[in-house]
Amino acid sequence: MGINHGKNTEMEPTGATQRIQSGIIRSLFGSASVVPIPRDKSLRFDESESKIESASPMQSFLVSLNAIGVLGLLIHSSNLRAGDQPQWGERGSRNMISRERHLPDTFDPTSGVNIKWIIPLGTETHSTPVVSDGRVYIGTNNGNERDPKHRGDRGVLMCVDEKGGQLLWQLVVPKREEDPYLDWPNTGIASAATVDKDRVYIVSNRGEVICLDARGMANGNGGPFGQEGAHMTQKGTAQLEPGALDADILWIYDMVSEAGIWTHDGAHSSILVDGPYLYVNTGTGVDNTHRKVRTPDAPSLIVLDKTTGRLVARDREGIAPHIFHCTWSSPSIGDLSGRKVIFFAGGNGIVYAFDPVPSLGPKAGSNGALKKLWQYDFDPAGPKEDVHRFTSNRREGPSNIYGMPVYKNGRLYVAGGGDLWWGKNEAFLKCVSAVGTGDVTTTATIWTYPLEKHCLSTPAIHDGMVFMADSGKRVHCVDAATGKPFWSHEAKGDFWASPMVADGKVYIGSRRGDFLILEASRKKRLLASIELGSPISGSATPANGVVYVATMTQLYAVAQGAKLER
């Protein structure tokens, strides 16, 4: 099958999209010959939450419109893809759950059972795949060269066809040359992409926020950015010419030169879109000594105009001097009684709540500063000053937070603890009240659950349970209300990925390469343990009836009833 560089307007509807279409057709024509839908509910598609929910009968809605015209628009609109997963975690809340159904409880790489396709990635992949409008996006490196003009170590964002895995285009970014600790060798692009309609947002390995055309060069290189050739060329080599497989860059915001950050190891950000703005974890951190912060005034959280890349606001909380290693956690957003709140976990181990930027921009006199509502010290017993004296101390020291804070029903679920590489072993999962003002450290804690050792994961909250994983090789299930344990399961390897809950199952892979599928229930039941033969860093992504699983070297599209012929 050839690579399709077109706009994919004839994409086959799947999953929830088919059910919506079927419901509309029934309402119009009384036909029962299309895909069946539940008999006790009519359906509505809520684009803002990418879900199907109970609503008034579809027929009464269509009567007031030109029904035939609306039907054609809905069926062919790319925005109708209810099962897409265009960002890491649930939109806004960052909860690691999906409403996808009919997903497999096992698959077999050897026989091909329940596998739709497998494609090679680079030699290291630390990104989580996202899915939107017929395309799958995943960050990796250039260890498996896909275009002969791009040679050597590079950061890569791949865009592949959702149906068959064929490469549509790729963003290829040269490494930073000054110091390997600024852009660690072979790490590639570790950030997860965020897709908003026909725009793709990614933080590159060089600490840039890049806006891309989701269609790549298929619709031409329309600008306004026109320097793709220079951008993809390693310093000191002949300038490359962009081709059909290269990304179409619309704008770039360089956080190093424009915001004054200090990149460290590999940028790991997942951009949050809210209205006209992007909320971005900058990834600023320590230098190569791991004991000094060279840019003490650097922001940890910035806000950009999503259309132009213009800096709109930043935090001014003085976080940078107290960062133990780096800024790993990306922001989330919640609705507290009709009021939006941005949640962010800094590299200093403090959780912050901010007012979002108004849609018309910052208020006069704000100096572009995010307005803090409250702050919560995740580890009040840990040191806050001169934190780098604890570097390499596995018994005591400060905490930092890798995973994202998850908002649900007025509560925030956050995991953190000692740094995986340089800090103490101690780690916790906490539930805190999302309501408050000022310093809420002594009043907001609802419960604390001790983890085995270190933690890089984001929690998944489902049906009164919280699922969590840690670097002590354990998956945990605890009561969301009390923090009391239901069970824990020991795997063969430690976990960097987050648990993903979908269709009554928990999907997660370890750094040992074993991929686990457990029942999402209060009693432990292991459904499958599958050996994939390569470490897993990113989270599984369910979308449109498929679960996407990335190892360091391959991307699997796993679907119930599929059979990959070898």
Q: CATH code at 332? A: 2.130.10.10
Residues contacting 511, CB < 8 A, separation 6+: 493, 494, 495, 496, 535, 536, 537
Q: Contact 127/189 with Cβ under 8 angstroms?
A: yes
C-alpha closest to that of 387 among 377, 379, 398:
398
Work out the average pLDDT over 297-322.
97
pLDDT for 222: 77
Model confidence, pTM? 0.86
Query: Does one domain contain both 106 and 72?
Result: no
Distances (CA, A) of 455 to 68, 471, 496: 52, 6, 7
Structural domain count, the chain: 2
pLDDT for 223: 78
Residue 146 — pLDDT band, cuts 50, 70, 90? very high
Query: Does one domain contain both 31 and 124?
Result: no
- pLDDT surpassing 80 at residue 366: no
The answer to the question of residue 8 being in a domain is no
pLDDT for 482: 98
The answer to the question of residue 1 being in a domain is no
Query: Does one domain contain both 355 and 480?
Result: yes
Highest mean pLDDT among 264-273, 358-367, 439-448: 439-448
pLDDT for 256: 97
Domain boundary among 52, 80, 108: 80
Work out the average pLDDT over 31-46.
29
Query: Does one domain contain both 69 and 155?
Result: no
Diameter over CA atoms, the chain: 72
Gap between the Cα atoms of 67 and 505, Å rounded: 38
Residue 341 — pLDDT band, cuts 50, 70, 90? very high
| Side-by-side strand order, sheet with 406-408 | 406-408, 411-417, 427-433, 445-450
The whole-chain average pLDDT of the chain stands at 87
Domain boundary among 53, 80, 107: 80
Distances (CA, A) of 199 to 125, 210, 545: 23, 10, 23
Query: Does one domain contain both 33 and 173?
Result: no
Query: Does one domain contain both 42 and 163?
Result: no
Domain boundary among 80, 112, 133: 80
- pLDDT surpassing 60 at residue 1: no
- pLDDT surpassing 90 at residue 7: no
Burial classification of residue 140, based on how many CB atoms lie within 10 Å of its CB (0-12 exposed, 13-18 middle, 19 or more buried)? buried
The answer to the question of residue 42 being in a domain is yes
Query: Does one domain contain both 154 and 197?
Result: yes
Give 139's strand partners.
Answer: 157
What pLDDT, in 10s, does the model give residues 521-559?
999 999 999 999 999 999 999 999 999 999 999 999 999
Residue 84 — pLDDT band, cuts 50, 70, 90? very high
C-alpha count within 13 angstroms, C-beta hemisphere, residue 385:
0
Query: Does one domain contain both 309 and 341?
Result: yes
Give the least confident one: 113-122, 217-226, 440-449, 489-498. Answer: 217-226
Query: Does one domain contain both 165 and 40?
Result: no
Query: Does one domain contain both 467 and 537?
Result: yes
Residues contacting 374, CB < 8 A, separation 6+: 352, 353, 436, 437, 438, 439, 440, 444
pLDDT for 10: 30
Q: Contact 164/117 with Cβ under 8 angstroms?
A: yes
Gap between the Cα atoms of 537 and 359, Å rounded: 36
The answer to the question of residue 450 being in a domain is yes
Query: Does one domain contain both 401 and 453?
Result: yes
pLDDT for 364: 66
CA 292 to chain centre: 29
Residue that wins the pLDDT comparison between 236 and 48: 236
pLDDT for 365: 65
The answer to the question of residue 225 being in a domain is yes
Query: Does one domain contain both 482 and 535?
Result: yes
pLDDT for 253: 98
Q: Contact 21/34 with Cβ under 8 angstroms?
A: yes
Work out the average pLDDT over 166-185.
95
Residue with tokens 């800094």: 346
The answer to the question of residue 148 being in a domain is yes
Residue 180 — pLDDT band, cuts 50, 70, 90? very high
pLDDT for 215: 97
Residue 29 — pLDDT band, cuts 50, 70, 90? very low
Work out the average pLDDT over 378-383.
96
pLDDT for 60: 35
The answer to the question of residue 2 being in a domain is no
The answer to the question of residue 88 being in a domain is no
pLDDT for 359: 77
- pLDDT surpassing 50 at residue 209: yes
- pLDDT surpassing 70 at residue 33: no
Instruction: Return the structure tokens found at 11.
Output: 């994409």
Residues 321-357 as b or e (16 or more Cβ within 10 Å = b): ebbbbbbbbbbbbbeeeeeebbbbbbbbbbbbbbebb
Residue 251 — pLDDT band, cuts 50, 70, 90? very high
What pLDDT, in 10s, does the model give residues 102-140?
999 999 999 999 999 999 999 999 999 999 999 999 999
Domain coverage including residue 36: 15-80
